[in-house]
Amino acid sequence: MQINKLLFILVGFGLFFSCKNERIVIEKPNIIPIPSSLKIEAGQYNLTANTAINFDDDFKASAAFLKAYLSKSFQIKTKKEAPTNTISFKKDTLLSKAEGYKLRITPQLISISAANNKGAFYAVQTLRQLLPATLENNTFEDEKINIPCLTIEDEPQYEYRGMHLDVSRHLFSVNFIKKYIDALALLKMNTFHWHLTDDQGWRIEIKNYPELNTIGAYRKETLVGHYNDTPHQFDGKKYGGFYTQDEIKDIVKYAQDRHITIIPEIEMPGHSQAVIASYPKLGCTLSPVEVATKWGVFEEIYCTREATFTFLEQVLDEVLELFPSENIHIGGDEAPKTRWKTCKDCQRRMKTEGLKDEQELQSYFIKRIENYLNSKGRQIIGWDEILEGGLAPNATVMSWRGIEGAITAAKAQHKVVMTPTSHSYFDYYQSDNEEEPLAIGGFLPLEKVYHFNPMPEALNKAQQRYIIGAQGNVWTEYMPTEAQVEYMAFPRMLAMSEVVWSQAKRKNYSDFISRLEHFNKRLKALDINYANHLYEVEGELQSKNNKLSYSLKTLTTNKTIRYTLDGNRPTLNSKIYDAAIPILKSTTIKAAVFNTEKQLGQTFLETINYHKAVGKKITLNTTPHKAYSGSGKDGLINGISGSHSRYGDKEWLGFWGDDLEITIDLGAITKINTIKTRFYNANGQWLYAPEEVIVEFSEDCNVKDKRQSVKVKNRDSLLSKFNVKFEGLSASKIRLTIPNYGTIPEGKQGAGNKAWTFIDEIIVK
């Protein structure tokens, strides 16, 4: 290879520096989350065993963290003063945000300045990311590290940068919780929302109420497979456990050392069946129940008798002893009011307190708990249902059912943390490849997380101040192992870190992907079982001048896509993709990403069903919900059906509470034999198929029966079907009217909320 060519390649991959006789290549910085500003300068700093760390007293802790980190590979010295070859920590009170820092690397020294230890800690995390990944697992073997000279100035966009973890549905070891906290720290997150209690298990030791741990922490068995697979099957194995108070203290301290606040969540009044199993007197019926063995929403909720408040206050007293966090999460979500409606004591409570309905009773419940916590100097945070029936005066709202809760709360001058299902639910599928491990449903690919803007457009400047940040949620119904939690949380957590830390103008998805490709080495060294979807193929059907073609792409550079149209899996010998594939008939495309030696990612499959409506004109009376607008209305007649398991993929369109009217203009009078479509029925996520569809045809059609109502079939299955056949019908226009299921009734999942209609391809043959 010619030397010039070699140089060119080296420069393409990294930064090129020359230094006396050696030529050294240093990888370009791949920092996640991306800093506010980064200027590469000439030269490099050589970190060696002679490097010393020197620091102002305020920065002792961050300096110690760095020293411990580097000491795995070098015998670094700590000294108070050292003019050269040092990493020095200095105080700079002029930095505008408390968590900000400046990191400057010159050939002589690395200097970190920050207003306080927290900023310095974040500088250390950045510096860590400038060093080889082999330092993470102690496999670094060289004697020195060349770090490019640069200046980084950095500060976060949001004050609340969080990740949640549900340890009730599945329980994880203390070591794993620490590993999770470590990852948060590396990504400059500052809040760990620890979901400690739910129907399926109580996970925190409470000394005053031992049955919470002997009974409430264990379920007799667990649902196998997906909740939507009926009949339900169980594994017959006892499951459970809890964290002792000593373990919790240890974890809280561990998090504090990494500038992470742990917000414990103690759910009330709903999601409390494990408590009622332990102490039936806390439920309305007083009768025994068992710790839940399957997922979903349960009707056993705390009764509003005094005994409940006495219990909760005593439980919270112990919780407060363990968790210094100012905010305590009290849940508040998904509390069906069925029991309260027929409970004498709850009804009496409503009368004596002058409450008009059960929503107001829930609000009374939450306000009482808020009062109690406020009296102890703490604040409450709750899921957005706490808005119903009147918001507790000082509460922070966690907006999860979309962003409407956030808007209402911010307008009422309450703080808000954004965690909408559409962008923050890391229990949803991240790839539409059917080989993915079982997940709850939905579809939240990395790119969608990355593009999340936590700031609702509907807010003015003054109201925007109340949006304090965002968080990714990891609900673990379908994550029985620590490896599976990692698979679902990474790399989406990395995208979320950039959402909450980085400036919008600094964000760029393809740049993020190229940084992620490098960062994966670090995750691997940290033994994190991240999901790698970097080497997947993405496809898109395009229509230009009435001609259809299908284009393929992949995220990373320097790779080849190979494909087949004959149904076989692509191999190293298959055709290389270099231009959009013309689509003239029904087609099956299989494709994969290859380097010169092998296939890298999973095999992509797309089936295009070239029916009579493909590429024709479609109009809707309303637009799909912003979070589920897929490939838009044209996606309903693009020949591609939605996935069986991911209603959020781009072929499904979601409408929240709206009745739908869809008109397809076939452009000419056309013979129509059948019309089919499907509706998604994930009731746990409030997706309900409509009961009927009204089909109408244009005036110019040849049948008398221009309007008919057709019942939707299989309404108990995940995919409900609308399917209608015609004899001798020709028409130019078809209209489908699809009434929304309406408000979800009591006794069903999501009761009281508006139902979603999810529809995919409308197949006309």
Q: Is 334 tagged catalytic?
A: yes
For residue 506, give Cα distances in angstroms to 122, 157, 509, 511, 628.
Answer: 18, 11, 10, 10, 26
In the bound state with ligand TNX, the residue whose beta carbon lies nearer, of 383 and 487, is 383
Q: 3-state DSSP: the chain helix, strand, coil percent, rounded to 5?
A: 25, 30, 45
**Residue 33, preceding peptide bond in cis (omega within 30° of 0):** yes
Give me the least distance between CB of 333 and ligand TNX, in Å please: 4
Token pair 């994966």 is at which residue? 520
Cα of first residue to Cα of last residue in the chain, in angstroms, is 58
In the list 59, 158, 365, 425, the residue contacting ligand TNX (rule: CB under 6 A) is: 425
398 sits in which H/E element: strand 396-399
For residue 404, give Cα distances in angstroms to 30, 230, 398, 442, 455.
Answer: 36, 34, 11, 20, 12
In the bound state with ligand TNX, the residue whose beta carbon lies nearer, of 267 and 370, is 267
Q: Please say whether the beta carbons of 501 and 158 come within 8 A.
A: yes
In the bound state with ligand TNX, the residue whose beta carbon lies nearer, of 112 and 417, is 417
Dihedral pair phi/psi, residue 422, rounded to 5°: -60, -30
In the list 192, 202, 400, 563, the residue contacting ligand TNX (rule: CB under 6 A) is: 400
Write the interaction track for ligand TNX spanning residues 359-378; mark x where CB under 6 A is met and - where it is not.
Answer: --------------------
Q: Choosing from 198, 265, 300, 761, which is the catalytic residue?
A: 198
- Between CA 578 and CA 601 the distance in angstroms is 19
463-522 binders of ligand TNX (CB under 6 A): 475, 477
DSSP letters, 598-652, are SB-SPPEEEEE---TTTT-EEEESSPPPGGG-TT-GGGGGSS-PPPSS-TTSTT-
In the bound state with ligand TNX, the residue whose beta carbon lies nearer, of 441 and 539, is 441
Residue 554 one-letter amino acid = T
Give me the least distance between CB of 440 and ligand TNX, in Å please: 5
Asked if 429 is part of the footprint of ligand TNX (rule: CB under 6 A), the reply reads no
- Between CA 625 and CA 630 the distance in angstroms is 9
Give me the least distance between CB of 429 and ligand TNX, in Å please: 12
Asked if 383 is part of the footprint of ligand TNX (rule: CB under 6 A), the reply reads yes
- Residue 70 tokens read as 């580097």
Q: Choosing from 99, 166, 205, 334, which is the catalytic residue?
A: 334
Give me the least distance between CB of 196 and ligand TNX, in Å please: 13
Asked if 211 is part of the footprint of ligand TNX (rule: CB under 6 A), the reply reads no
In the bound state with ligand TNX, the residue whose beta carbon lies nearer, of 218 and 475, is 475
Give SS3 for 167. Answer: coil
Give me the least distance between CB of 241 and ligand TNX, in Å please: 19
Give me the least distance between CB of 112 and ligand TNX, in Å please: 39
Q: Choosing from 195, 271, 533, 611, which is the catalytic residue?
A: 271
Q: Is 380 exposed, middle or buried (0-12, 13-18, 19+ CB in 10 A)?
A: buried
Give me the least distance between CB of 718 and ligand TNX, in Å please: 16
Write the interaction track for ligand TNX spanning residues 436-465; mark x where CB under 6 A is met and - where it is not.
Answer: ----x-------------------------
Q: Please say whether the beta carbons of 135 and 70 come within 8 A.
A: yes
Q: Which region holds residue 568: left if phi is over 0, alpha if psi is between -120 and 50, else beta?
A: beta
Give me the least distance between CB of 240 and ligand TNX, in Å please: 17
- Between CA 61 and CA 256 the distance in angstroms is 11
Residues 118, 122, 124, 130, Cα dihedral to 10°: -170
Number of residues that bind ligand TNX (CB under 6 A): 9
Asked if 427 is part of the footprint of ligand TNX (rule: CB under 6 A), the reply reads yes
**Cross-strand partners of 199:** none
Token pair 């240890």 is at which residue? 250
The CA radius of gyration of the chain, in Å to the nearest whole number, is 29
In the bound state with ligand TNX, the residue whose beta carbon lies nearer, of 688 and 697, is 688
- Between CA 228 and CA 180 the distance in angstroms is 30
Asked if 594 is part of the footprint of ligand TNX (rule: CB under 6 A), the reply reads no
- Between CA 110 and CA 103 the distance in angstroms is 7
- The CB density around residue 61, as the number of other CB atoms within 10 Å, is 18
54-113 binders of ligand TNX (CB under 6 A): none
Q: Is 634 tagged catalytic?
A: no
340-359 binders of ligand TNX (CB under 6 A): none
In the bound state with ligand TNX, the residue whose beta carbon lies nearer, of 29 and 332, is 332
In the bound state with ligand TNX, the residue whose beta carbon lies nearer, of 429 and 466, is 429
In the bound state with ligand TNX, the residue whose beta carbon lies nearer, of 55 and 192, is 192
551-590 binders of ligand TNX (CB under 6 A): none
Q: Which of 681, 687, 695 is nearest to 735 (CA)?
A: 695
Which residues, other chains included, contact 660 with Cβ-Cβ below 8 Å and sequence gap of 6+?
620, 621, 622, 736, 737, 738, 740, 757, 759
In the bound state with ligand TNX, the residue whose beta carbon lies nearer, of 397 and 662, is 397
Residues 683, 478, 419, 129, Cα dihedral to 10°: -160
Give me the least distance between CB of 86 and ligand TNX, in Å please: 48
In the bound state with ligand TNX, the residue whose beta carbon lies nearer, of 212 and 386, is 386
Give me the least distance between CB of 334 and ligand TNX, in Å please: 5
Give me the least distance between CB of 441 and ligand TNX, in Å please: 8
309-338 binders of ligand TNX (CB under 6 A): 333-334
Q: Annotated catalytic sites, by residue? A: 198, 271, 334
Residues of this chain that bind ligand TNX (CB under 6 A): 333-334, 383, 400, 425, 427, 440, 475, 477
